[in-house]
Structure 1
Amino acid sequence: MTTRPSLPPSDVSAGVGIAGVIGLALWVLVCRFWPAIADTFALSGPHEVMDGPAAAMSALLFSGAGMVGWSLLVDKVHRRPSTGIDWTAPRPLRDVLDISVTKIAGLWATWALIGFAYCIARWYWRGQYVFAMEVLESAVPFLFLGAIPYVLWLDRVLVNPRDGAWHFGAMLIGREPWDPAEVKRHWLSWLVKGFFCAFMISIVPGGFGAVVRFDWASVTHDPVALGTLLIETMFMVDVQIAMVGYLVTMKPLDAQIRTANPHLAGWVAALMCYPPFILMGDGDVLDYRHNGAEWAFWLQGHDALLWLWAGALVFLTAVYAWATVAFGLRFSNLTYRGVLTNGPYAFTRHPAYLSKNTYWWLASLPFLTTSGSAVDAIRNTVILALVSGVYYWRARTEEKHLLAEDAKYREYHAWMAEYGPITRTLRKIGGALTPKRPVVQPAE
């Protein structure tokens, strides 16, 4: 009997994300019950402070500290060869000073250009993005000044300190040969960070505040309220852990962006899912909610169905959050930062996309409309199918990128295609639904 091969090992341990969730949960509990703690220590101050933007951003410290601590103390990721660091042979500072100055120039120029892009793009100065711009403005002095000791320290132990930032700096200074391919890789990575960091910061306060403010005691007998609370909580976990992932793309944590997706199709497929390029918003091209309503509207009065639907939606959101938590410090869109094969990725290559799209189908029920129009129902159903098609396209472009980068991912991809639980289940269902051809007996 042939033994089924095992999944290739994951580059990220399960403990990293779990440590982050525990840290986040502790901070949420402190914020939720702050009035009692304030009374105990004779402190004063409005409760709203603890569910506001500052508290939401502070949560990143708690979740991030847990993940960084686990990565360094338990997984010891800083010792991995994939970091590109050799801690045993630090160079004298004088030997890398010229390289470091060039790299710092490249980094400063990169950040200045991203800042200029923020300034001229109007969408960054209205709505929820205003908060992101305020946070980033406050971070500018620490970023620019902190880069000096960080680069000087790290370049002494990097095996190859001439990375993309150095090549971009060398291009600007014009003193040494530089590689255009390295400059391109550098800019693709920073375009990912620049675009998604602003977006993620802008949505951090909303979900965090909703969970802290929610009246937890009132939801136990209401499937809609309880489902809403748990779904909000899962999305908060997703956003918090993902935000930490975007912030700590550092080589000592083995969380650096090794490459960003070089394919234009990958960028187009991803960016149309996020503002300002999003096509799925109200009134946009792929808006599937015209004259529609959410699940609670259609199922009201049917308690058993409400509980069943709420449970299914919470489960799907939990899978979605689990997919982000499994990435730990390495979460980000459009990048290769190692191969993940554990958690929900042991069941399917794209658990986040699968669970998110299934959630949308169950939550919106696009074939039901408040107008009673069959045209609206058909239109909404077809458009949501197109939205799911966009995510299928995203998945394929991501696979194309990763298959070209890492032999381990190629092994994982092949294993999932042959032995993945969901793939095998769908294959069996397809086989069962396929009409069997009658067996023709040979003529005697």
Structure 2
Amino acid sequence: MPIISTYSYNFSQRVKNLSATLLIIAATSGFYAIIPYYQSYFSVHTHYFGKDYMHWQVLVVTTLFYTFTLFVFYLTEPAPRVSKSIYCLRALHKIAISPATVWKTGLPFDERLGLLSILLKAFFAPLMIVWLFSHTGHMLEHGSQLFQTIGDPNTGWLALFNTSGFWFIFKLILFLDVLFFTIGYLVELPSLNNEIRSVDPTLLGWAVALASYPPFNGMTSMVFGGYFTDFPQFSDPVVHVILNVTLLMLMAVYTSASVALNFKASNLTHRGIIMHGPYRYIRHPAYVCKNLAWWIGLMPAVAVAWQTSLTATLITIGSMVGWSVIYIMRALTEERHLRSIDDEYDQYCARVKYRFIPGLV
């Protein structure tokens, strides 16, 4: 009798977990399908293996595959627990029934964690999927061009670097970065040691994180502008190559931080502290390197502004200062969140004392 009862409970819990997750996936898919901004955003084409695909097609295929994978997982996991999807639905039910009470007293920890985790995944996962697909397509396209022309005696090394060499390496770097973040958002398993322990519950933490992602980065650009470019052009070929190779090296370190995070890669979460890779030297290597790469990408715009007026120069530089402040705020809010959960981050800070610049800051 206990064996039958246990089996019955397990099966019941599996069905509940699966049903709640499928409901959330359906609701999220419906949301993206009816919002005009996302209809346009996900209708972008990417050239892939000789054909053009729209990003919404990739999302549909990925969603179906992900749903099938979840179906298999929920029906076969060794010891099913109440899923974050169920906690999320419980939280939404309480908010719908009595929003004033929830505002006043808050939600139980598990329900708050479930709600914030699902919101996090629902926002970031679709972006990561289409970016991963896009970066892969561009990486393959530029890689093909590079290997077709690399032995051509009529193509100089600078032309090779400008037409396909830089872009192949750049897209390869971004591909690796987004790959780990995509997996991090979609997969959360005890066996991978990447379960979400906490999600930043503060409005400021979410605001500065979302400010860097569409559609909110459009509003950030309206405030600060966006004068930097991924591949800045310089008239002197030596300076051009040196600065752009430096940019690629900075972006490689940026991505090495994502590789170090591995399957724990995601924004606004506490999933355990990483102390290897570039995190051995400073606490926010990804933010530092990404911003330094953007500062290099700003140089041509500064040069043009300098020839125009001092005001134009200050506006151009101020734009990048604004973006850098966003990332400084992201670092500070992340640290505040991680410190609020347990003492693991404090132990890490005792080992790695500097946030941004070794020996200085």
Looking at secondary structure, tell me which structure has more helix per residue: 2
What interval of TM-score do these two structures reach, taking the shorter chain for normalisation? 0.7 to 0.9
Secondary structure at the residue paired with 1:417? Answer: coil
Offset at 1:318? 0.8
In structure 1, distance between residues paired with 2:225 and 2:92: 44
- Picking from 374, 377, 383, the partner of 2:319 is 383
Structure 2 gap ranges (5+): 45-53, 95-106
Which of 94, 98, 101 is 2:15 aligned to? Answer: 101
Per the alignment, do residues 276 and 97 of structure 1 end up closer, same or farther by CA in structure 2, a change over 3 Å counting?
Answer: same
Of the three residues 365, 374, 384, the one matched with 2:310 is: 374
Shift of 1:251: 2.8
Q: What is the deviation of 1:230?
A: 2.2
Rounded Cα–Cα distance in structure 1 between residues aligned with 2:91 and 2:116? 16
Cα deviation, 1:333-382, whole Å, max 9, x if unaligned, reads 11112111100111111111000000111111153226623222110101
Mean Cα displacement is larger for which, 116-125 or 190-199?
116-125
Asked whether the equivalents of residues 59 and 130 of structure 2 are also in contact (C-alpha less than 8 Å), the reply is no
Of 41, 52, 61, 1:138 maps to 61
2:171 maps to which of 232, 239, 259: 232
CA deviation string 1:246-277 (max 9, x = no partner): 22222332222222221111110011111111
Q: Following the alignment from structure 1 to structure 2, what is the Cα–Cα distance between the partners of residues 152 and 296?
A: 51
Q: What is the aligned partner in structure 2 of residue 327 from structure 1? A: 261
The equivalent residue for 1:187 is 115
What is the Cα deviation at residue 221 of structure 1?
Answer: 1.7
Residue 243, structure 1, aligned to residue 165, structure 2: no
How many residue pairs match? The answer is 324
Which of 126, 146, 151 is residue 198 of structure 1 equivalent to? 126
Partner of 2:225: 287
Rounded Cα–Cα distance in structure 2 between residues aligned with 1:252 and 1:388: 36
1:111 partner amino acid: I
Residue 333 (structure 2) aligned to one of 393, 397, 404: 397
Distance change >3 Å, CA 97–CA 230, structure 1 → 2:
closer
Q: Cα gap change, 1:232/1:108 in structure 2, threshold over 3 Å: closer, same or farther?
A: closer
Q: CA deviation at 1:321?
A: 1.2
Q: Are the equivalent residues in 2 in contact too, given 1:165–1:183 (CA < 8 A)?
A: no
Aligned partner of 1:415 among 337, 351, 356 = 351
Q: 1:231 to 1:372 in 2, by over 3 A?
A: same
> Could you state the TM-score of these two structures normalised by the residue count of structure 2?
0.79
* Aligned counterpart, 2:76: 153
Q: Find the residue that maps to 1:367 and give its secondary structure.
A: helix
Secondary structure of the structure 2 residue equivalent to 1:255: coil
Quickly say closer, same or farther: Cα 1:171–1:313, change in 2 above 3 A: closer
List aligned pairs for 1:12-411, cutoff 5 A.
Answer: 92-128=6-42, 131-144=54-67, 146-154=69-77, 156-157=78-79, 161-168=81-88, 180-214=108-142, 215-216=145-146, 217-218=149-150, 221-222=157-158, 223-225=161-163, 226-279=165-218, 284-289=222-227, 296-297=232-233, 299-300=234-235, 302-365=236-299, 366-369=301-304, 372-411=308-347
1:354–1:417 distance in 2 versus 1, CA, 3 Å: same
Q: SS where residue 304 of structure 2 aligns?
A: coil
Question: Structure 1, residues 25-48: CA drift from partner, whole Å, max 9, x if none?
Answer: xxxxxxxxxxxxxxxxxxxxxxxx
Q: What CA distance in whole angstroms lies between the structure 2 residues aligned with 1:391 and 1:230?
A: 24
Structure 1: give runs of 5+ residues left out of the alignment.
1-88, 428-444
Q: Measure how far apart 1:141 and its partner are.
A: 4.7
Q: Which has the higher contact order (CA 8 A, sep 6+)?
A: 1
Determine if contact 1:211/1:232 at 8 Å carries over to the other structure: yes
Q: 1:168 to 1:206 in 2, by over 3 A?
A: closer
Post-superposition shift, 1:115?
2.3
TM-score, scaled relative to structure 1: 0.65
Shift of residue 189, structure 1, vs aligned partner:
0.6
One-letter amino acid of the structure 1 residue matched with residue 24 of structure 2: T
Alpha carbons of 1:421 and 1:324: their partners in 2 closer, same or farther (altered >3 Å)? closer
Deviation at 1:295, TM superposition (A): 6.9
Cα offset for 1:150?
A: 2.2
Identity, in percent, stands at 26
Structure whose alpha-carbon radius of gyration is higher: 1
